[in-house]
Structure 1
Amino acid sequence: MSNMEEQGMVTTYEEMKEVIDKLGIVPLAALIPGHPSVNGLTKAENWHTDTDLDPWAWRARFPGEGLAAYGKFIRKKAILVAREWFPAYVAAAGSSQSLEERFDSGLCSREALALLQIIRDNQGIETRELRMLADMKAKEKKTAFDNAVTELQGTLDIVISGVKERHNAEGEKNGWNSTSFETAGHWMAENHIPEFKGTRDEAVAWLRNRMEGNWNPASVSWLGKVLSW
């Protein structure tokens, strides 16, 4: 796999799916020491081309097709997690407490709680509408909003469900595409992915077992430290 990383030999969406299925967890850009990333595995000239070979477009296609969960799951960086691995990853890296319980214990921000409540009622909501419903459209509230949605992804409460095109009143594409969000539980249910049946320790053991032979031992060790496994 390290040889593939150096050569940038992944060209198609199907080839990247094979990599994600094998490795289970693949960052969009270099993050885990000694571990491949989408950016490192692909050719720079294919990015942002709006073609079938554009890895930037794949990041929305994977969750949209239920093949991999996507979000800023590790150190506020974008990660793809294979559908087979995601239930164990949620059990191993998420919280056993609800966000309301964490809020009462001072373990989450008020903004994160407010946004999660809106997302629960509006699954697949896009960024602009979410900011509007949360009364966070003002420029001075953008940082708090961004921090809150990143916080919710890091705790596996929500995932990025895709990217929606923005259109003007005439229906024409207008401006940058907008990220949409849904709860992790909803994404799993919609894609017929069962929850992990077991404890956090059992989930960690499941993941480590799948990593064995496919991951660099140093990469496994790094992730374990970051996620306190």
Structure 2
Amino acid sequence: MANENGTWIMYGVEWDDPECLHTVRDAINYINEVGFLPLFKNDIPGFSLEERTVPEYWWCGDPKVDPWEWRELIARSGEVAYGKFFEKKAGFISKEWLPFFANYRRDGYDFDALWDDEKASRRQKKIMDCFEKEDELYSNELKLRAGFGKDGEKGFDGTVTDLLMKTYLCVKDFRQRKNKKGEFYGWPIAIYSKPEALWGYDYVTSRYDESPPESGKTIEKHVMDMYPIATAAQIKRLLGGAFGTEVRSKKKKFRQPKEWIIPANPKYYDIVHAFDDETIINWKQGAGIIEGDTVFMYVGAPVSSVLYKCKVIETDIPYEYSDRNLTIKALMKIQLQKKYNPEEFTFEVLKNEYGIAAIRGPRGITNSLSEALN
């Protein structure tokens, strides 16, 4: 924090203070313990990494004791999400708490569904499209690929910050750039990624079965339990949203039926023969899918092709299942309408002719693909 003379003042503790974090491992353990933590001091006293470290060690350049260096190591660890998560400022969210933030901040929307419902900007879409084919991108490379910069789109940093705040992106690492000879140079820069690329789609979206306000109330209660002196206004400023209010059930909005392409992994379910003896089966319900929608089932390797067109005839069927590969909170009932030749809509066809390079969760389809499938 800068004082009236422009001098940067850091708040913290002495090295021998019982609350002092001495190493990056101490910091990771503490973040996992409290669940989420801003990097710098904010309205809630004590709720930051800054206030639990030695002020004199910031920006000293020694990764053993410099919390500024720790943020790079924490992002790289894969144990904690790092990004501009709090008031558009940097902070950390543990793996345990990320699904709560994802459901709350995204309002239950995957990005494709957000775009389909016209709730995402064109600039956000340009950035997120870059991650259809890549799991990670240097910030400068992302800026170039998404068409920002000189003679292109404006507001790259602000658009990325909005996507970080909504948890559609996080900072996976910090690395030096490479020159044409493959040699590293310059300061380390941010490597962006989708949280799903770190921890899997099913895990990141595992709270989608509850309403976003419920996830918000859970976050709020956790902060109040840790910091009883925090007010609802302070929490709202830091975390965003209508904290301090009762959770109200959301009325379902009517919309016209939509078409989705959804993944099916033959390693976990014999989807290839699922419709051999019946035309109606239960399937994991995807976020945003409602009765009346159409789903095209893309079967993963070794098939790697769209095999079925189905009508969704019932949703919100209660079901609880979880293992290290899959989490199911609800089922939908789908009815077979059409089978496709496995050679017709292969992964290569989807990628090269329709621009769909990854199917990790339910996503809308383009008009051209819809016409071909129908």
Query: Which TM-score band (shorter chain)?
Result: 0.7 to 0.9
CA RMSD of aligned residues (A): 2.9
Please report how far the alpha carbon of residue 148 of structure 1 lies from its aligned counterpart in structure 2 after TM superposition.
1.2
1:27 pairs, out of 38, 58, 62, with 38
When the two structures are superposed, what TM-score results if normalisation uses the length of structure 1?
A: 0.83
Q: Name the counterpart of 1:57.
A: 69
SS in 2 for 1:96: coil
SS of match in other structure, 1:174: strand
Partner of 1:227: 241
Q: Would the alpha carbon gap of residues 39 and 219 (structure 1) be closer, same or farther in structure 2, given more than 3 Å must change?
A: farther
Whichever of the two has the greater Rg, that structure is: 2
Gaps of 5+ in 2: 1-10, 244-374
Query: In the superposition, relative to structure 1, how do residues 145 and 100 fare at CA in structure 2: closer, same or farther (>3 Å)?
Result: same
Relative contact order higher in (CA < 8 Å, ≥ 6 apart): 1
Q: Which has the higher strand share?
A: 2
Distance 1:215 1:5, change over 3 A: farther
User: d(CA) in 2 for partners of 1:92 and 1:5?
Assistant: 31
Kindly provide the CA deviation profile for residues 88-139 of structure 1, in whole angstroms up to 9, marking residues without a partner as x.
121222222343454465543211111011123211111121122122242x
> Secondary structure at 1:72's aligned position in 2?
strand
* Structure 1 residue ranges (4+ consecutive) displaced by more than 6 angstroms after TM superposition: none
**Aligned residue among 94, 104, 107 for 1:95:** 107
Q: Which has the higher helix share?
A: 1
Letter in 1 for 2:145: L
C-alpha contact 1:47 1:55 (8 A) present in aligned 2: yes
Alignment partner for residue 58 of structure 2, among 37, 42, 47?
47
Counterpart residue number, 2:195: 184
Return closer, same or farther for 1:66/1:220 CA change in 2, 3 Å cut-off: farther
Q: 1:10 pairs with 13, 21, 24, which one?
A: 21
Could you tell me which amino acid in structure 2 is paired with residue 62 of structure 1?
I
Give the % identical residues: 21
Tell me if structure 2 keeps the 8 A contact 1:90–1:156.
yes
Count of residue pairs brought into register by the alignment: 225
Cα pair 1:120 1:183 within 8 Å, conserved: no
* Residues in 2 aligned to 1:136 and 1:144: alpha-carbon distance in whole angstroms: 8
Q: With structure 2 as the length reference, what TM-score do the two structures score?
A: 0.53
Distance 1:100 1:193, change over 3 A: closer
Residue identity in the other structure for 1:167: K
Partner AA of 1:200 in structure 2: P
- Following TM superposition, by how much is the alpha carbon of 1:174 offset from its aligned partner in structure 2, in angstroms? 1.4
Partners of 2:224 and 2:47 in 1: CA distance = 15
